[in-house]
Structure 1
Amino acid sequence: MAHGHQASGIAAGRLPEEDIAANFSDLHAPYAPHEAAVAADRCYFCYDAPCVTACPTDIDIPMFIRQIQTGQPETAARTILGQNILGGMCARVCPTETLCEEVCVRETAEGKPVEIGRLQRYATDTLMAQDVHPFTRAEPTGRRVAVVGAGPAGLSCAHRLAMLGHDVTIFEAKGKPGGLNEFGIAAYKSTDDFAAREVDWLLRIGGISIETGKSLGAGLTLDGLTGGHDAVFLSIGLGGVNALRAPGEDLPGAQDAVEFIAELRQADSLAALAVGRNVVVIGGGMTAVDAAVQSKLLGAENVTIAYRRDRASMPASRFEQDLAAAKGVKLMFNVMPVAILGDGAVTGIELEYTAVQNGRVAGTGERVTLAADQVFKAIGQTLDGAPDGVALEGGKIAVTGAGRTSVAGIWAGGDCASGGDDLTVTAVAEGRDAAMDIHSALTA
């Protein structure tokens, strides 16, 4: 994959270091205790609360907010973490505006929901700062489970299994755990190395070991894993990237958005990170917004998101769209890439206007060319290296119930499994539920 850092127009240090530091500070400042108390006071503590129904991990939201209101943030954190062990990260990255906060009675009545995400962060941050792990491990069962992939689903599954007394080994392809929480989310949503600190905290339950640099196919086989363990949980994510199928997509300066975000998240100095003057991002999801906004924060002059359908169809929430616009990103709708232009490096992109007919996107023949020295592809990811012998559905690992695959003794969850909606919070729920199902199978 061409990184294109030497390509024309792509340069580091477009902004002074202090400006970049300010740009990448926390998106939502954490609550002070008195702010949390005021925010908690707005909750109606609904019976049959719609926010709980909207939460993929079924957190008892009125309960934890009441615990904050009565001055017990640590107890509130236990309520949250009992359902969602990565509640700290989810408080930062969850699209609460389209989940719990969208259905909040306050939102319905007055257009201003209880700020559930920020209250959740206040509670979990308070507990994590105390340097204690709120869960204790059950008596060891002598059972061993392999988890392949240390992203949110794998970590959630491993923690719940360890808590129930099983021994867990996580095999992770990258050099450190965390999955997309570590490599794939905008830096301004996860400041102060939070993803890595949360993993360290989670591992304190005991009974979990992580082996990095290990992926399926490269020295790890399903036969080997099932032979040496009582159960296997696959949470391998989506490592492949969809092709644009447009000429020029291999030019230096054209890059996968996920690769750019990973590079940014792992960079020692953001000021040293190269970015184009004219950046175009193809796609309409959270990854597209994260890549576009961060390009702007690094000092790119013109940043455009080009999406093939209309605004209402854009997968990124309205909050994310408005955030991009507020940071100076231009949003273009109903356009699709025809060709990435350039000779030796990207110089522009040709887009065709689209119309949707019978639900399908079709070109109208009308075209427009934008100047671009950097193009990011954010058009979705695919399963890379599907495990042999495990049935697939729609390009993902087919699962039934709580993550059972077509092969006995093998479960799967997170983005690699069918039926999910590619959210951290959903992956956590799937990992937790698979762990409970594995536990039932191992102790039956």
Structure 2
Amino acid sequence: MSLTDMTDEKLTELAEKVRAEYDDLKAKNLNLNLTRGKPSAEQLDFADELLALPGRGEYTAADGSDVRNYGNLKGIPDIRAIWADLLGLPVELIYAEDSSSLNIMFDLVSWSWTFGNNDSERPWSAEENVKWICPVPGYDRHFTITEHFGIEMIPVPLNEDGPDMDAVRELARDPEVKGMWLVPVFANPSGVTVSEDVARQLAEMPTGAPDFRIVWDNAYAVHTLTDEFPENHNVIRFAEEAGNPNRFWFMASTSKITHAGAGVAFFASSPENLAWYASHAAVRGIGPNKVNQLAHARYFGDAEGVREIMLKHAGSLAPKFKAVLDILKDRLGEYEVASWTEPTGGYFISLDVMDGTAARVVELARNAGIALTGAGSSFPLHQDPNDRNIRLAPSLPPVDELEEAMNGVATCVLLAALEKLDK
């Protein structure tokens, strides 16, 4: 029965029961963490073969170059071809760089801020004001980058097929709006995947700023929780067909596929955007770690090899996601105090609790030894106007710890809701 439909007597009875459960929870002196979407040790072990690759005497890329030496800003063709196949992109439009796509995203914003990009009339720093569209709930590290540069962030709702396009189209007409963050496949934290229709609308829509960019951060392009892989839309082609060839900065990486901080990141875009990127990247450095790129290419073999590895990850992750969803349904479903996403890929579950209680849920959990991502973290400046969203990260703990943590979280959600109702 919904809490709001309960009689005062039933609410009081439930409140006594939940407070007793919370006292028992605190008495356990737990130390559990659901804050970041880190791969588990089991997942990291899948890629231990990499530690012996490419191997002594193995240092020649497919183009005949010696990967031990300087140069080749684009990265070696071996790994670029694999990711081009995975993403459905022409290999000539994709660069393979060092481990972090976040580093590339920071560079792109930083260089646009300092110099302007290839469609800018002036550096963004010279503009009177710069704004950015931020679908919410979204990725906190994206928002941290634009916050770092003092860019005004404007939230728009993220629907089941992508961002609210009525809101996006209206905002994009403003010449002060220079860009937009988006995780198009298995979005962080909701697990939403952008439809082809929305992707085409983003490619086609008019913008007030000629140098408007969409950061298409395809971080979870192959991160399925099932035996089916998502379709990855070639938005670079969509944009070219729409007459807006430079619209997308397209990212991907081997993060959460091999070893964290020791992988390969990819940047794909139009030829003009790539030339602009290279003009600055060539000053920043002489070339990426091509030995590591060759190791990854040998480890994967081809695109199908990547998919086979990702099915191993799905086998590790899916039981954890099921455990979280089962507990949420069993503990909270009947009371109608929360809703949550049920993703088929990615690394997170987005939990919406009773309005005005998310911060209290996080506080209650922390006091019971369960660390959650801070309330509002999935919103610009950590400001959730409804104080209801919490990002859950099931990947790192073993299932038994995860179940204990989630039962504790469910108790905290109920207790915060009862407090909100003055019970």
Q: How does the TM-score come out when normalised to structure 1?
A: 0.26
Give 1 or 2: higher strand fraction. 1
* Higher normalized helix content (fraction of residues): 2
Q: Give TM-score scaled by structure 2 length.
A: 0.27
Q: Say which structure, 1 or 2, has more relative contact order (CA 8 Å, 6+ apart).
A: 2
